[in-house]
Amino acid sequence: MRMIDADVYPLELTSIQLQTWLPHVAEYFGERAGARQQTFQLIPNYCEAA
């Protein structure tokens, strides 16, 4: 009960699919960059395992 009273909750890890999640996050950064007349480019397969 103390954890609830203190607004402290155990960490709950969840797996995500980066292929699904990353484009949505990148879209946000692209919009922000465009508003500042900057360019944002996401390079696919850049972090591919060797």
Q: How far is CA 6 from CA 3, 9, 26, 39, in A?
A: 5, 9, 35, 43
For 1-50, the pLDDT digits (tens) are 555 566 677 888 889 888 888 888 889 999 999 999 999 887 777 555 54
Instruction: Give the pLDDT score at 5.
Output: 62
- Looking at residue 37, its pLDDT comes to 95
